[in-house]
Amino acid sequence: MSEMLHYVWLGVLSVFQGPALLELGGIGLPLALVMLVAGLVTGIAVGATPGLAGPMAMAISLPLLISAFGFTPDALLPVFGFLIGIMKGATLGGAVPAILFNLPGTPDAMMTTLDGFPMAQAGQPRRALRIAQLSSVAGDTFSDIVLFICAPFLAVMVEAYLDLPEKTALLILSISFIAAVMGSSVGKGLLSVSLGLVVAFIAAGTDLSPRLTLGIDALQTGVPLIAAVLGVLIVGEIFATLERLWHDNHALDVKAASDGSAEDGLQPGDIRRIAPYVGRGAVIGAAIGALPGVGSTLAATLSYTMAARRARRNPAAQPFGTGAPEGIAATEAANSAVSGANLIPVLSLGIPGNAAAVFLILAADSIGGFNPGPAVFSMPEGAINPQLVTVFGIFTLMSVGNLLNWVVGGGVMRAMGVLAKIPATRLLPVVLLVSLTAIYVQETSMFAIWATLAFGVLGWAMRKLAVPVLPFVIAFILAGPIERSAREAFSASGADPWFLFSSPTSVILLLLAVVALIFLGREK
């Protein structure tokens, strides 16, 4: 235990005594903290702008960050600081246009419009924003605490009890689960997974001659990771939204609520009124967030529905949909509580569960020196595990981010309300050029741009055919680890074709994968 506390302390120091941006009166201004603040403001701005989203900002900023900080271990915390800041800020910012303009900045803020906009229309926009901020930050903080406690234990359990066949089975369970729960049908979820696997397997084998290249020279080193991920996730989304705007130029226009009245701002008794709803929303969000692939939109919907049902049973309660503070609180607490818990499978197992986690993995992969998975939590005797120090550095940054969101998040949210008025018809072409330039700068090859556009077309087509895109990205990232662990497990078992069924644990994990596909993927 004392050893663990020592690592916690080292993690805190790595943030506060890490590289400094500048010195003020002999005291260094920690770079990681500066980047966290910059990320938070960027995230709130992005969340508040309809048509943009946290992952989009993470995608654009990642090549810039890597260019600025390089590929050294010192780059990890500043880069993670910025990305975590965006992740936290975007969750908060999504509520701004939802409340002020009846237009969710992020998909998970859809339910916030139901009570947030009526409250703003009734002359209390500041009150609605304040309730959203308090609920969101409370949910996020709770979720982070769950992450801090669960991730190390999960990682230690996995390392202690799971051998190669079980780890392979666990990875298979993860992608099966993601295929089952995302999208409209299990068939389309599996199609997305299989496409991601196939693309990742191009030129990724162990033979001297790379596989599946179709004789194309540019594919000899495989598909650039950033091109596939950004193409499907970001460029595909830009194409699809541009098409929507092409049909209807005003699809993302805002309708302003009335200005604040004299009685605007948090009312006496509001906090006591929303506290139980925030608590329940936070638990729902954290529980759902811990499962890979299950998004914050589901958490928000579930929390809102349960809260509305509870309110209906109480005749004295304000009906939901009429500007009830409990409605805003239930939604915002739940959708924000997803983000911290979403990192549990990332840090402890190396399995990304959402788009933000994908970019954290991409950052770790690009910079090097930090490989999310059970090994980061190991504590070798007589030596310091730098990866574990980084993990506690990340936890420190998340805690500071929450503190900043508590203190100044509300002010930044109000200031960003104006961003919702930027027309998406002009914003998205700019985002496309910025994304393509950022990719080129990182890859220094026009092939990467052509590949990004090709994957953008794939992402657009998947959206048109209602095939979920996130399973593609997660399968693309997990394809290498699955194949590697299966090859090693097969060799270690002495070429036993039934190596995946060699232990009860792996059989249970595989059965769970089948159960997930059959039962979770039935009706949506």
x-marked contacts with other proteins along 389-428 as a string, rule CB under 8 A: ------------------------------------xx-x
Q: Cα(254)–Cα(104) distance, rounded to whole angstroms? A: 10
The nearest distance, CB 275 to other proteins, in angstroms, is 39
Candidate residues 153, 246, 501, 519; the one interacting with other proteins per rule CB under 8 A: 246
Long-range contact list for 463-466, CB < 8 A, 24+ apart?
463/236, 463/237, 463/240, 464/240, 465/188, 466/183, 466/184, 466/188
- What is the DSSP-derived secondary structure letter of residue 318? P
Please provide the DSSP assignment of 389-457 as one string. HHHHHHHHHHHHHHHHHHHHHHHHHHHGGGGGGS-HHHHHHHHHHHHHHHHHHHH--HHHHHHHHHHHH
Candidate residues 170, 190, 337, 347; the one interacting with other proteins per rule CB under 8 A: 190
**Closer CB to other proteins, 337 or 469, in the complex:** 469
The nearest distance, CB 481 to other proteins, in angstroms, is 12
Q: Are 210 and 203 in contact, with CB atoms under 8 Å apart?
A: yes
Q: Which two tokens stand for residue 288?
A: 């759902």
The nearest distance, CB 427 to other proteins, in angstroms, is 9
Q: Which two tokens stand for residue 16?
A: 């506060």
**Closer CB to other proteins, 215 or 382, in the complex:** 215
518 touches other proteins by CB under 8 A: no
**Closer CB to other proteins, 166 or 264, in the complex:** 166
80 touches other proteins by CB under 8 A: no
Contacting range for other proteins; rule: CB under 8 A; set: 44-52, 86-94, 266-274, 458-466: 458-466
Is the CA virtual torsion 505, 510, 515, 520 positive or negative? positive
The nearest distance, CB 506 to other proteins, in angstroms, is 17
195 touches other proteins by CB under 8 A: yes
Candidate residues 111, 338, 388, 432; the one interacting with other proteins per rule CB under 8 A: 432
Q: Are 403 and 392 in contact, with CB atoms under 8 Å apart?
A: no
Q: Are 213 and 199 in contact, with CB atoms under 8 Å apart?
A: no
Candidate residues 122, 163, 487, 503; the one interacting with other proteins per rule CB under 8 A: 487
384 touches other proteins by CB under 8 A: no
The nearest distance, CB 521 to other proteins, in angstroms, is 9
46 touches other proteins by CB under 8 A: no
232 touches other proteins by CB under 8 A: no
Candidate residues 121, 194, 318, 505; the one interacting with other proteins per rule CB under 8 A: 194
Q: Cα(106)–Cα(301) distance, rounded to whole angstroms? A: 14
**Closer CB to other proteins, 50 or 325, in the complex:** 50
Q: Are 290 and 348 in contact, with CB atoms under 8 Å apart?
A: no
The nearest distance, CB 198 to other proteins, in angstroms, is 5
Closest of 104, 137, 109 to residue 300, by C-alpha: 109
Strand partners, 30: 20
The nearest distance, CB 18 to other proteins, in angstroms, is 22
The nearest distance, CB 201 to other proteins, in angstroms, is 5
Q: Which two tokens stand for residue 278?
A: 């925030």
Q: Which two tokens stand for residue 101?
A: 């303009």
Please provide the DSSP assignment of 211-239 as one string. SS-TT-GGGTT---HHHHHHIIIIIHHHH
Q: Cα(124)–Cα(134) distance, rounded to whole angstroms? A: 16
**Binding site residues, other proteins, CB under 8 A:** 64, 67-68, 184-191, 193-195, 197-198, 201, 205-209, 211-214, 239, 242-243, 245-246, 249, 425-426, 428-430, 432-434, 436-437, 440-441, 444-446, 449-450, 453, 457, 460-461, 464-466, 479, 482-483, 486-487, 490-491, 495
